[in-house]
Amino acid sequence: MSSSSNKMGLMGLTTIVTVNMMGSGIILLPSSLAATGRIALLAWVITALGALAIACAFAKCGMYCTDEGGMSVYAEKAHGKSSFFIASYTYYVCLVISAVAIAVSCVGYLEYFIPWLKETPIHTFVGVISILIITMFANVRGAKITGQISTVTVWGIIIPVLGLSIIGWFWFDTKIFAEAWNPHNVSVGSALYAGMALTLWAFLGIESAGANSGTVENPERNVPLACMLATVFSAATYIASTTVIQGIIPNDILAKSDSPFGLVFAQMFTPFVGEIITAMAIMACVGSLLGWQFTNAQVSKAAADMRLFPKIFSDVHKHDAPFKGMMIMLALELLLAVMTISPTLLKQFNVLVNLAVFINMVPYILSLTALGIIMKQANVGKKEYNAGILVGSVAVIYSIYGAYSTGEEAVFYGTVITLFGYFFGGFIASRDATLNKT
């Protein structure tokens, strides 16, 4: 009885999954989507349905596979040991890219207080690498500090986005919204294609949906239900906030803004309120970046502990943090920041988002295609198996389209990055084969 009372209920799990998804992913999207026009909002509908399928599929994987390793261990069950490494490797790379994208978002909002940052691309670059360095060294103190900061700062973006979704309609102007519905006369298919990767970015992190199944009451019912409720709530909030902001700020102004939520609150109320929202967004970005970098350090450490990454990633210091692995990750983030310097901050953000989404679809597809064998091994009933296969198939097909929608450049570079993973994986496989022989 006591063990049951200590377990999490439906609402508790739904809240955790919602907070995991609603980090800083939405923070620059209104401006990015404005480049296509209001018609790009249609991508939210398709993305929400696809994200719901992915959440349900991952929830089922988590329920029926209790082995540690998340997406990597799911992938191994269907595709063998090499896929465990590829899933871990691509997820690691995705988190590196995502960290830089979040730092870019943070600089966009910091520009309001420090105009020097937007004077030249080099100034923006200095801001990005400064934030990456500061947050990485903040993580060196270990999990406790990172967790305490992140659980508070995430509300810095959830509150403004949720608040705008509710009260923003009082300032909504249908004329402003209608005038920029389709300014470039693109087809519906082109608008969906342009907005798909950007909107999917806001749902990254959904793979953690089933990770807490062991601590939940009645997980067979509550885990999938929490995933659906969290995804629907997040999607509704994303769609509402993006729609509202596009009915308040003219499209040509919104498309050039590096801090759209600060801009809209300044117009709704006063510049001072806009400054408060901008500061909250910066706080949320910093907290989110702390969380992503810490998570990636743990992903690489876990892989190193299993001899899938070089041993240096598993070395920890007195605060039990993998310091050497963090420094390697920081070096990769700084290199990526150099490689993606762009004339405008929004262009750099879009390049990073597209690449992150493509790379993240690799472990998604590898792990979700294992749902069938996971359910077979769990001896589920025929009805549950068929339902799982249907949901999993939708999730995989959507993930493939999500990868396609990132565009030629992201697909090209993302494929090259993935192929390097097989190159590195080959060395690891040969090392283990040598050890087994001796």
Going by C-alpha positions, the residue among 25, 90, 83, 197 that lies closest to residue 414 is 90
The pLDDT value recorded for residue 363 is 93
The pLDDT value recorded for residue 435 is 54
Buried-state track 120-143, b at ≥16 Cβ within 10 A, e below 16: eeebbbebbbebbeebbebbbeee
Q: Tell me: the pLDDT tens digits for 348-388?
A: 888 888 999 999 999 999 999 999 999 999 999 999 999 99
Q: pTM for the whole thing?
A: 0.84
Buried-state track 297-330, b at ≥16 Cβ within 10 A, e below 16: bebbbbbbebebbbeebbeeeeeebbbbbbebbb
The pLDDT value recorded for residue 379 is 92
The pLDDT value recorded for residue 304 is 84
**Which residues, at least 6 apart from 341, have a Cβ–Cβ distance to it below 8 Å?**
121, 122, 124, 125, 348
Going by C-alpha positions, the residue among 366, 363, 347, 332 that lies closest to residue 407 is 347
Going by C-alpha positions, the residue among 262, 266, 267 that lies closest to residue 277 is 262
The maximal CA–CA distance of the chain, rounded, in angstroms, is 75
Do 114 and 254 touch, CB atoms closer than 8 A?
no
The pLDDT value recorded for residue 7 is 67
The pLDDT value recorded for residue 433 is 66
The pLDDT value recorded for residue 1 is 41
Under-50 pLDDT residues of the chain:
1-3, 438
- The residue written with tokens 């929608």 in the block is 405
Burial (CB count within 10 angstroms: exposed 0-12, middle 13-18, buried 19+), residue 413: middle
